[in-house]
Amino acid sequence: MSSYYDKLLTLCGFEYEEIKMERPRIEASFERLGLGPEDMDTADTWVRQNHDVSLEGVRKLLGAWLKELIDLVLARDERKKIVYYGFPAILGPGLILSASSEDVFVSAPDMVLDHTMGQIFNKLAPILEAGEANGLPPGHALCSLWQAKVGGIAKGMIPVPDFALASSYYCDMGSKADDLVTAKYGVPIAYIDGVMDSKWGEYPEYLPERVHYLGAQINQALEKAEEVLKIKIAPDAWEKSRKSSQPFRDNLARLVEVMKADPVPVSVVELELLEALSSSSTGRGIREGIKAMDILIHELEKRVEAGIGVTEKGAPRVMVRLGHTSDPRVTRLIESTGLAVPLTFILGSFGGVKVNPRGNYTTPGEIIADYEMTGGYYHGTEAQVHFYEKAAELMKLDGFISQYLYNCRPVATISHIQKRYLEEKTGLPVLSLEIDNFDSRAYSADSLRTKVETFAELLKAKKK
């Protein structure tokens, strides 16, 4: 017997047996999210308009996000001990906690809401408004991701967590927003602090003291998690979690090779779906995402062989920082102007600079910190710019679109430094584009179109 949601879930990669088996969970979660029959029709149209559902891998990726959403909504009902962290985050602590106990659910709920209630159902705005009404008012340059998280809790869509991992090593607003959740709901917090202010010219080197400091912060957070959640960190938790997520990282590296093709075989909208999943899920979402990527990469390899792409062959190639997490129309705007986007910052980090961890640390926190320092994202401004520079050679780029969030200090501060540095070092044009990657109410595709179209015409003329 079919239900009102079967058609949409099938579109999003669910098998019939999966739907049949999960009906009680699907219906309980959709009821809590306020999703009814009319929302399924709207979502069906929205997904078909904005995602390449001719690719089974894309449909499976959408399904992976929906499965993560269902698990998130029902985590309290299913007696899970719930841990939330913010994006972008050092994922290691969450992976260790998840690998140490099957009773612990660890997730970045703001990203899950963005990619489901935004990218699939187009119903994120009421959640953001609830966040604004519950301590994160508009007009104060506050993070839209935090508005989604607080709004989701306030509306009863997602459960209040048992524990929060607050990230002030990158996003200094994150720890203060977690303070708000604690003030309203009494959630215990572990603060993980760090220092991103590297000296220019230091990367890829880094002082051991930075690893010791960040590692100690992570170790303290894990100790507090053990105390609050009443679990014991498994001695092999880090290795176990790394092993389980390694296929995802391997697939990202494979994807870099596929995206070198001209024409580019898939939209950056779909790249964003899979990139963000690796930093938002420690459970079923990431496991389903690995299966989806295997399918998608095989499909894209076939497209490359056939010369099929989302833009014309020879189109100017640009790198962007991130795709839009909740409104695919904003990301598609770039390709609609005739520009090909072969990679983003996250994907570029898997195919560009290779730095090996030093590996001479013994505590879980220091091992994680050592690993993260090699990646560059938490190293400093120069390390992040360095990935863009290397990507120009790797992907034969013609320019960069450097999006920066006006309401994100670490990203906003890099914007104009990055433009000047890349134009001087690579000789390629850079569009420094003010945006909100998580909320399109003020920064819609239409509001950004003129700037992107003008930049596209510049690149096309230069390429001729």
* Range among 57-61, 195-199, 248-252, 416-420 rated most confident: 57-61
Q: What is the pLDDT of residue 349?
A: 61
Please say if the pLDDT value at position 375 is more than 80: no
Whose CA is closest to 187, among 163, 154, 204? 163
pLDDT at 109: 95
Residue 409 has what pLDDT?
77
Better-scored residue on pLDDT, 158 or 250: 158
Residue 16 lies in a domain: no
User: What's the confidence (pLDDT) of residue 350?
Assistant: 57
The answer to whether residue 23 scores a pLDDT higher than 80 is yes
Q: Is 143 part of any domain?
A: yes
Residue 314: Cβ-neighbour burial (10 angstroms; 0-12, 13-18, 19+): exposed
pLDDT grade for 442, boundaries at 50, 70 and 90: confident
Name the most confidently modeled range: 123-127, 283-287, 345-349, 409-413.
123-127
User: Residue length, the chain?
Assistant: 464
Domain assignment present for residue 304? The answer is no
Question: Which pLDDT score is estimated for 351?
Answer: 52
- Concatenate the DSSP letters of all residues of 334-389 into one string: HHHTT-EEEEEHHHHHHHS----------SHHHHHHHHHHHHSTTT-HHHHHHHHH
What pLDDT, on the 0 to 100 scale, is given for residue 310? 94
Contact assessment for residue 231 and residue 225, using Cβ atoms and an 8 Å cutoff:
yes
Q: Quick one: what percent of the chain has pLDDT higher than 70?
A: 98
Average pLDDT of the residues in 196-215: 87
In tens, the pLDDT along 31-46 reads 999 999 999 999 999 9
Range with the poorest average pLDDT among 200-209, 298-307, 419-428: 200-209
Residue 22 three-state SS: helix
Mean pLDDT of 33-62: 97
Residue 404, pLDDT score: 87
Q: Alpha-carbon distance 392 to 377, whole Å?
A: 18
Is 14 domain-assigned?
A: no
Give residue 240's pLDDT: 86
In a domain, 48, yes or no: no
Is 174 contained in some domain? yes
Residue 76 lies in domain: 68-229
pLDDT digits (tens, 9 = 90+) for 315-373: 999 999 888 999 999 999 999 999 999 988 776 665 555 667 777 898 999 999 998 88
Structure tokens, 78: 């299913």
**Total domains in the fold of the chain:** 1
Burial of 336 per CB tally in 10 Å (0-12, 13-18, 19+): middle
Percent of the chain with pLDDT over 90: 66
Which tens digit of pLDDT belongs to each residue from 69-99?
A: 999 999 999 999 999 998 877 888 998 999 9
Tell me: pLDDT of 458 over 90: yes
Q: What is the pTM of this model?
A: 0.95
Indicate whether 380 belongs to any domain. no
Q: 364, 233 in Cβ contact below 8 A?
A: yes
Place 406 in a pLDDT band, splitting at 50, 70 and 90.
confident
| Mean pLDDT score, 183-208 | 87
How confident is the prediction for the chain on average, in pLDDT?
A: 91
185: Cβ contacts below 8 Å, ≥ 6 apart: 153, 160
Is it the case that residue 432 has pLDDT exceeding 80?
A: yes
Residue type, 55: L
**Given a cut of 80, is residue 239 above it in pLDDT?**
yes
Mean pLDDT of 391-416: 86
- Compute the average pLDDT of residues 388-405: 90
Q: Picking from 169-178, 224-233, 274-283, which range would have the lowest pLDDT averaged per residue?
A: 169-178
Q: Is 454 part of a structural domain of the chain?
A: no
Compute the average pLDDT of residues 111-117. Answer: 97
